[in-house]
């Protein structure tokens, strides 16, 4: 099969770069090649363009340009947020609280910080994948410096009560960081409105170039840089600025925001119909993880009981559909999901999981055929049909 013959259903792992974003990347690479930190006419033009990109990105999320820190992606952004806050803590306020379903960019950084002596607590979720707020309240105290909870889970699409999380953190005098990598472009996302002090985005999730991201950092926050060596990005991220990458990401942000309301309601209806078609075809042999909670409109996490999800994904791949098994950034791609384990799924049910994540152009016909293939392949793998 050629690339065009595959139907790509793994947008949660990474979206194709939009042509408009590619156009911006090429334009900036050819015209804005001067270092904005130099002192000559072309450098001054590049510096002006850099300021403009901060303004445009800030406008997309309701932030001041000085609150935008461009990074290499979500992983670096999460590390900057966690380490940046904790490096500036004093006295007894040095603890970190994260949820058990965070992306590994947060969880593994939390584990590393714990080994360095930072007190870390892990908040549980309920069976539907939503954070247990009562448990969180019991973990956050006047010794907590930072609470980090994602906006939407990358494996199940389940939305977290980030406004309540922010209040819990702030009532205890702590800062709140939100990994919003999966949510941008699909939901209204203004950190000041839901109380985030820091927020992470990744360009590759909404049609920008890979290797680009940003951290929103409230202007009142004092954080330490992760990468040192120069004064770039307000002193928070050293290194010559990647103007072409920033331009591509910013363009993708603007396009994603402009089409948000017109695209994703339709995709949500298509996703829901696909799930119901699978449930009807495999009654009692399948479960939709997080289905009872509010979710992103494009993600479906499905456990097919008594088979391995990897086997189903291989069959679907041979039939022209590219689906995921969970997080594409997990330490072992075929390991059972830590997210599903936190939701209380057994090892057997978790190992039977696939993740379908649609893009904005998915059609009802494509989703219906995917559902039918899931049913037929399951029956063949189980020897039921």
Nearest to 182 by CA among 256, 274, 125: 256
Specify the pLDDT at position 336: 80
* CA nearest to 128, candidates 292, 12, 260: 292
User: 19-255 domain in CATH 3.40.640.10?
Assistant: yes
- For residue 175, what are the β-bridge partners? 146
pLDDT at 4: 72
Alpha carbon separation from 93 to 3, 85, 162, 174 (Å, rounded)? 52, 11, 22, 8
Picking from 21, 32, 58, the residue whose alpha carbon sits closest to that of residue 240 is 32
The residues of the chain scoring below 50 in pLDDT are 331
Q: Residue 330: what pLDDT?
A: 53
Residue 384's pLDDT is 66
Q: How do the domains of the chain map onto residue ranges?
A: 3-15+261-382, 19-255
Task: Note the pLDDT of residue 179.
Answer: 98
What CA dihedral angle connects 311, 338, 347 and 9, to 10 degrees?
-20
Of 195, 184, 338, 366, residue with least CA distance to 271: 366
- List active site positions: 329
Strand order in the sheet with 353-357: 286-288, 299-304, 353-357
pLDDT digits (tens, 9 = 90+) for 331-340: 455 578 999 9
Kind of pairing between the strands at 68-71 and 299-304: unpaired
Structure tokens at 60: 């997309």
DSSP characters for 333-368? TTSPPHHHHHTT--HHHHHTEEEEE--TT--HHHHH
How far apart CA 304 and CA 289 sit, in angstroms, is: 11
3-15+261-382 and 19-255, same CATH topology:
no
pTM (2 d.p.): 0.95
| pLDDT value, residue 328 | 53
What integer pLDDT is reported at residue 385 of this predicted model? 55
> CATH for 3-15+261-382?
3.90.1150.10
Nearest CA to 268 out of 291, 249, 234, 246 is that of 291
């Amino acid at each position: 099969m050629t690339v065009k013959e595959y139907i790509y259903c793994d947008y949660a792992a990474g979206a194709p770069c939009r042509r408009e974003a590619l156009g911006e990347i090429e334009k900036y690479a050819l015209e804005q090649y001067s270092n904005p930190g130099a002192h000559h006419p072309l450098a001054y033009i590049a510096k002006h363009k850099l300021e403009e990109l901060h303004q445009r990105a800030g406008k997309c999320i309701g932030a001041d340009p000085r609150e935008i820190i461009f990074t290499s992606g979500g992983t670096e952004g999460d590390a900057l947020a966690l380490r940046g806050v904790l490096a500036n803590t004093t006295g007894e306020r040095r603890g970190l609280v994260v949820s058990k379903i965070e992306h590994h960019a947060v969880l593994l950084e939390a584990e590393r910080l714990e080994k360095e002596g930072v007190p870390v607590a892990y908040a549980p979720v309920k069976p539907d994948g939503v954070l247990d707020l009562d448990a969180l309240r019991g973990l956050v105290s006047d010794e907590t410096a930072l609470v980090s909870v994602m906006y939407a889970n990358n494996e199940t699409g389940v939305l977290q009560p980030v406004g309540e999380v922010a209040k819990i953190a702030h009532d205890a005098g702590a800062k709140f960081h939100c990994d919003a990598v999966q949510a941008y472009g699909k939901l209204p996302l203004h950190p000041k409105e839901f109380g985030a002090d820091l927020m992470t985005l990744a360009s590759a999730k909404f049609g920008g170039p890979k290797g680009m991201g940003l951290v929103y950092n409230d202007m009142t926050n004092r954080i330490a840089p992760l990468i040192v060596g120069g004064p770039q990005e307000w002193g928070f991220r050293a290194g010559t600025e990647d103007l072409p990458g920033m331009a591509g990401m910013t363009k993708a942000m603007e396009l994603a925001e402009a089409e948000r309301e017109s695209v994703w309601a339709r995709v949500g209806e298509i996703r829901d119909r696909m799930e119901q078609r699978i449930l009807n075809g495999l009654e009692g042999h399948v479960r939709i993880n997080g289905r009872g909670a509010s979710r992103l409109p494009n993600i479906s996490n499905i456990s097919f009981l008594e088979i391995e999800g990897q086997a189903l994904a291989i069959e679907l791949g041979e039939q022209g559909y590219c689906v995921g098994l969970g997080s594409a950034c997990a330490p072992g791609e075929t390991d059972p999901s830590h997210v599903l384990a936190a939701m209380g799924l057994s090892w057997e049910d978790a190992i039977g999981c696939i993740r379908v994540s649609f893009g904005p152009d998915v059609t009802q016909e494509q989703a219906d055929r995917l559902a039918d293939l899931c049913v037929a392949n399951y029956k063949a793998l189980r020897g039921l049909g």
